[in-house]
Amino acid sequence: MNPTTSNKVEATQALIQLTKVSKTYLAGDNQVQALKSISLTIGQGEFLSIAGPSGSGKSTLLNLLGCIDRHEFGDIVIDGQNVAALSRTQLADFRRHRLGFVFQSYNLIPVLTAYENVAFALNLLGLPEKEVRQRAMAILEEVGLQGMTDRLPSRLSGGQQQRVAVARALVKKPALVLADEPTANLDSNTGEAILKMMKDMNQKHHTTFIFSTHDKMVMDQAKRLVRLHDGNIVDDEVRS
């Protein structure tokens, strides 16, 4: 497939617009161009997977979309905001309010219960305690953890911990959820259940999900698959 088909979404419908974005890292005395002038448009409500071999640029792309790293050239607009124009403090505020993250290692706070891990994301926004409790309990029920809200992560299975992580990502009602290898530490049955849950959340809340993954199951379930190789988009497939 021609890589130019990567602009499949009209700009007026776009949640994310990357235009000729490049990113270079220093590796010892050498410069490595992780992304090479890529352009990509992603619409609101997409369920998209970024795939490619190690060194292809997929982790770099996810870090740029998560406003964790900065690019050198090109433009990145997320939810109407040109992120290159934001200061470090503004970027942190943008991440806190508009983005959700799901990691392969769950990244839960071990001394906090499932409820407290999810509520923590809302406490950072300064919301009233009553609203925090209503929203946290509601999303935990949605992801199937009713009756487990008072358990510490150590008393939850890997799949249950990932459900807490998804609840924490979604409770803020973000425009975008970024998931880095979310099924990597799960057995195939649990991974399939977590993926189905995220698809259900995508359809119910119309939240955009972007995965970086090696997992064929995630690639197969994605509604759109963008493949990278050596910092270039080499394929962009939309499924019905």
Exposed, middle or buried by CB within 10 Å (0-12, 13-18, 19+), for 188? exposed
Q: Are the CB atoms for 38 and 21 separated by under 8 Å? A: yes
* CA–CA separation, 105 and 210 (whole Å): 17
Give residue limits of the domains in the chain: 46-65+86-238
pLDDT in tens, 174-227: 999 999 999 999 999 999 999 999 999 999 999 999 999 989 999 999 999 999
CA–CA distance, 83 with 81 (Å, rounded to integer): 6
* One pLDDT digit (tens) per residue for the chain, 240 residues: 444 444 455 544 799 999 999 999 888 888 889 999 999 999 999 999 999 998 899 999 999 999 999 999 999 999 999 999 999 999 999 999 999 999 989 999 999 999 999 999 999 999 999 999 999 999 999 999 999 999 999 999 999 999 999 999 999 999 999 999 999 999 999 999 999 999 999 999 999 999 999 899 999 999 999 999 999 999 999 986
Pairing of strands 14-27, 81-82: unpaired
Q: Alpha-carbon distance 107 to 124, whole Å?
A: 16
* Helix 114-123, helix 129-142: angle, nearest 10: 130
Decide which of 3.40.50.300, 3.30.70.20, 3.40.50.2300, 1.20.120.420 is the CATH code for 46-65+86-238: 3.40.50.300
- For helices 188-205 and 158-170, what crossing angle results, to 10°? 20
